[in-house]
Amino acid sequence: MPEPLGGFGRHSEPALLVLVSLAERPKHGYSMMDDIDRLTGTRLGPGTLYGAIARLEKRGFIEKLESTDRRKPYRLTHAGQDALSSQLAGLEVVVSTGLQRLATA
Amino acid sequence: MKWAALIRLYPKRWRIRYEDEMRALLEGGSVSVRDGLDLLRGALEAHLIRDLSAGPDPRSQTTLGGVMEHPVPTKRSATVAALFLCLPASFLLSVTMKYGFGYDMAFDPLESFWTFKPIEYFTVLSPLAALFLSVAPALRVSVARDGGAIKGALVVQAGAVRIAVAAVSFGMLLVFFGYFLTENIVYVRVHF
């Protein structure tokens, strides 16, 4: 089965991080950036962050919420939740296999 | 330097959708040179991948497998391609009027053509550019790995305007090529 973020190519990592960040609750760009920084120790640049947001929004994985604030919050859609679950399940197989092989090496 | 000014480099459609929140993001914290370079790269990417600026596409159907129907390209590139055809079209029209129907022109189009000014090269090359502009945005090439096999697909999504412009461009290229053959090979063999 193809990976849900497979079509994102080299952009799949920032997209995955945005999905993971939004899995907690709806967030605007600055909160996502902070959350991803705390989670991974990597600070996404503004161009990379909004590139990922645009790709995910285009695919219907996230949606913008109405807000009077200039900072617009985004939330995961059902398709985004499914895509994230599927992507993480795929990664889990890789992680567990890797750890298993390291343990027996 | 005000890094937020770099947002002006993004395409208009992108700015309509994201400019306010990007500015708010940049005003909310310190912006490094690395962020500035990241913005430049993002702006370039937004120009190169036009679909990115468009926001969610209601015609796109997202599935769990990540398959997305590509939207039909807009008519903008086809319109630009059509504009490229104006000059060669006027050239062919003036040649037909003078040599086909004997309507004397204020100038001899073929004589003026062979003076090798830049505009003449543009006349010949513009149908080629028009053909590229009309066809390229309508092509989608996808390569995916399915198990051990690599599968490729070429999809053409073109409207009537795009097909018409491509056909006219191709026709003009054939006319110019035919003229080149007649003038340089057939004529030379017959007369020399």
Domain boundaries, chain A: 6-104
- Specify the higher pLDDT residue, B45 or B139: B45
Give the best-scoring range by mean pLDDT among A66-80, B43-57, B127-141: A66-80
- Find the residue in A nearest to B44 (Cα): A47
The C-alpha atoms of residue B187 and residue B192 are separated, in whole angstroms, by 8
Average pLDDT over residues B126-145: 76
Partner B, chain A 15-74, Cβ-Cβ below 8 Å: 28-30, 33, 45-51, 53-55, 57-61, 63, 69-72
Q: Which tokens hold the place of A82? A: 């499914």
Contacts of B52 in chain A (CB under 8 A): 51, 54-55, 58
pLDDT in tens, B69-80: 445 556 677 787
Q: Are B79 and B134 in contact (CB under 8 A)?
A: no
Q: What is the ipTM, given to two decimal places?
A: 0.83
pLDDT in tens, B75-121: 677 787 788 787 778 777 777 777 777 776 655 666 656 666 666 66
Q: Which tokens hold the place of B21? A: 């929140």
Is domain A6-104 given the CATH code 1.10.132.20 in the classification?
no
The C-alpha atoms of residue B165 and residue B175 are separated, in whole angstroms, by 15
Q: What length is written for chain B?
A: 192
pLDDT value for B108: 61
| pLDDT over threshold 60, residue B57 | no
pLDDT value for B64: 31
